[in-house]
Structure 1
Amino acid sequence: MEDVKAAVAGGSVYASGGGGWVDHGLEIGGAAVTMGQPKLASVDELPDDAIIITCTAIGAPAGKTDWQMLGVDYIKAVKLLMENYEGKVVGVMTPQNGMSSSINGWLPAAMLDLVVVDATGDIRAHPTGKMGQMGLAADPNFETIQVVVGGKKETGSYIELVVKGTPAKTSNVLRTASDMSGGFIASARLPVPASFIKENAAIGGISMAIDLGKAIIEAEPNGAEAVIQTICDKTNGEILGRGKVISSTVEYSGAFDIGQVVVDNPNNPLTLHVMNEFMAVDDSKGNRLTTYPDVITAISTETGKPLSAGALEPGLEIAVFRIHKSHVPLSSSVRDATVYPEVEAALGIQISDYALGE
């Protein structure tokens, strides 16, 4: 359970304002270590032909919709994939760190005798499924299988869906299913061999979240400022500014939370661009201060805890934190130019020039 708490605490920093909810992470992670013994494995411990699948939750993190996702939904999604896939699945991984997504696969791993692979499709959270698929979204000839399970049965929104096709097309189908189910749904997808993970994932992503989380938990008795300093020291991160949230235009639309948050940083207000996660920050002079794939996090200066994008309401005092991309492992997802146009169109800003640059 200490690992669950640490993964959620550290994952909340890499969540970049998204990646689910702390309560959901503690609930699902707690169930995993209570009902079984999930094992974290280095990808180097696995043979090259061992099949790894990605377990995740798809949807928007603001929690402004009538969603329901249970632990059994994660397990059912993995089972459905295994039933519809010819190969033998050995392990699970997450496409991203987050408030709950760092422990996405722990429960099905514990219940179905699979290992949790210490790798992520992206070290930080991101808005679209394509952004965690390690470069495969750009391949029109790669066929995969993707599964989603979740929703409220009492309202008729419960969905089980198995879809096969290219990652780009099937990801759009899954996003629509998430919206129809209430905005947040469990998924299992993208079976690939360990050899592919070794070459294309952000290796060690889960260990990084756990190590950061342990440092955060140790610093918490000393107050919010001690926690913020610990996060900076542990990650080579920095505070871009501090201030009170002035306004937020973040609204739910099609399983995405999209909008802007303005922070009254002294003499130079900051604008945080949100598409589920914080994707960029501009100052009042129009200068870009940070852009995906940098880790971008809003931290409460009162509690030291990272906040989700949907929780940033006027009056909250926050510190805007970032880790430069040079200080985190980057997966092939980041170098996939095809994943950026829809995000740039939704936000009306440039992202790819920085993400794809040196």
Structure 2
Amino acid sequence: MRRRLVPADVEAAVLGGSVFACGGGGWADHGRMLGNAAMAVGSPELISIDELSDDAWIATAAAIGAPAGTTQWEMRGEDYVRAVALLQEALGMPLAGLIVGQNGMSSTLNGWLPAVTLGMAVVDAVGDVRAHPTGDMGSLGLAGSSEPMIQTAAGGHRDSGAYIELVTRGATARVSPVLRAAADQSGGFIASCRNPIRAEYVREHAALGGISLALALGEAILGAAPGGVVDAICGVTGGTILARGRVAEKQVRYTAQAFDIGTIRLDDGAGGKVLHVMNEYMAVDDGADVRLATYPDVITTLDPEGRPVSVGHVEEGAEVLVFHIPKARIPLSSSVRDPSVYPVVEQALGISIAAEALA
């Protein structure tokens, strides 16, 4: 499969990615900036993994930081290009393509600008169909590996003198916190490129077709009749509305590890719901602490018209819908089947995740 991405695909990617963002995954306007910047350079080519030889080099274009808008950050399109260029220089070999670690409001488009600028393809594969808080959760099962990998980062708030570039080498689980610390020092959000691997490994471990899923969902949203967006989202994905009500309480704080962590409580007239947040929605409990949904399920807040509402824009008193896709309905990568990625999340949230995620 080969598909030339065109300007209309930018909005489809942003809208579809916003649902898979699960309350995080960057910012819609940032995604539009990345997509439009790519289109100004040329037409990125989206290809399936089968278009590449097994030994072709692929890396993950990503952004690191807390997406709830609680910090002073700056990230330009050129930062994504620079991060990829730094990795390619460190590798000493040309990259054939880029994947993304997750779908999201902007992260679905993370690879478009560096790919078209540097002459490589956008590969239709993701480390995770939905957005997640840590780089390890999109690392295609490499989080527990001791094999040294290359990870780079570039970006930062220029007026504060917070621009940073770095090239790191080491085991993924050891290096990922270093890049997250760099994100915090840069203003809370930084571009990265990480983990160059062969296409054969991507084929075996990624969630294949993940970008096409976001594009198809976005196209359905754009084509929905007035008042029919929620039905369109549910129809295309097979998801359902888990709850509907008003936000009774929001307790989310920013941490020095560049995470937004806390809970959002919903009064739905049925005992209430609690949404657990670590950058993204990671779990939903009912009022009796019975688990209703857990990562890697898709968990997203929508407004009554069907527009995704990020954690940063959820306000107490607002009416929201909780949209849910069970993990059985989405492609799963080796990342989400890796037990080593869950302890840091469970410790931060104080709830169980792995038992449900790995079941």
Shift of 1:88: 2.0
Per-residue CA distance 1:113-171 (angstroms, 9 max, x = gap): 1100000000000000000001100112x111000001122211110010000000110
Deviations 1:64-106 (A, max 9, x none): 1010000110011111111111222110010000000000000
**1-side partners of 2:255 and 2:177: how far apart?**
14
Report what 1:104 is aligned to: 110
1:53 equivalent in structure 2: 59
Secondary structure at the counterpart of residue 223 of structure 2: helix
TM-score by length of 1: 0.97
Residue from 277, 280, 284 that aligns with 1:274: 277
TM-score normalised per structure 2:
0.97
Whole-Å separation in 1 of the counterparts to 2:34 and 2:317: 32
Taking the TM superposition and a 5 Å limit, the aligned residue runs for 1:202-351 are 202-219=207-224, 221-223=225-227, 226-254=228-256, 255-301=258-304, 303-351=305-353
Distance 1:89 1:286 in 2: 47
Q: Counterpart of 2:55 in 1: which secondary structure?
A: coil
* Alpha-carbon distance in 2 for matches of 1:266, 1:35: 51
- Structure 1 residue runs of 4 or more that deviate by more than 6 Å after TM superposition: none
Residue 185 (str. 1) matches residue 190 (str. 2): yes
Query: Aligned with 2:235: secondary structure?
Result: helix
* Cα separation, 2, equivalents of 1:154 and 1:313: 30
Q: In 2, Cα distance between the equivalents of 1:92 and 1:316?
A: 38
Q: Shift of residue 187 of structure 1?
A: 0.3
Question: How big is the shift at 1:268?
Answer: 1.9
Matching of residue 154 in structure 1 with residue 156 in structure 2: no
Specify the alignment match of 1:15 in structure 2.
21
Q: 1: CA distance between counterparts of 2:239 and 2:74? A: 35
For this pair of structures, how many residues does the alignment match? 352
- Which residue, 195, 198, 202 being the options, matches 2:203? 198
State the alpha-carbon separation in 2 of the partners of residues 229 and 269 from structure 1. 23
Q: Which residue of 1 is the match for residue 181 of structure 2? A: 176
- Cα distance in 2 for partners of 1:242, 1:152 equals 38
Q: Distance in 1 between matches of 2:40 and 2:163?
A: 26
Amino acid at match of 1:157: A
Structure 2 CA distance, aligned partners of 1:28 and 1:90? 20
After superposition, what is the alpha-carbon deviation per residue over 1:204-225, rounded to whole angstroms, capped at 9, x for unaligned?
0000000000000111x512xx
Written as runs of structure 1 = structure 2, the 5 A alignment for 1:35-74 is 35-74=41-80
**RMSD of aligned C-alpha atoms?**
0.8
Unpaired runs of at least 5, structure 1: none
Residues 165-194 of structure 1: CA deviation (Å, up to 9, x unaligned): 000011010000000000000001110000
Q: Name the amino acid aligned to 1:248.
A: K
CA contact (8 A) 2:74 2:158 kept: no
2:31 is paired with a residue whose SS is helix
Of 131, 150, 154, the residue aligned with 1:145 is 150
Pairwise CA distance, 1:311: 1.3
Task: Tell me if the contact between 2:154 and 2:165 (Cα under 8 Å) persists in the aligned partners.
Answer: yes
Structure 2 partner of 1:84: 90
In 2, the alpha carbon distance for the partners of 1:217 and 1:315 equals: 28
- Residue 304 (structure 1) shift: 1.4
CA distance in 2 between partners of 1:321 and 1:108 (Å)? 32
Residue 251 of structure 1: CA displacement?
1.2
The amino acid that maps onto 1:68 is E
Q: Percent identity?
A: 55
Q: Is the 8 A contact 2:293 2:324 kept in 1?
A: yes
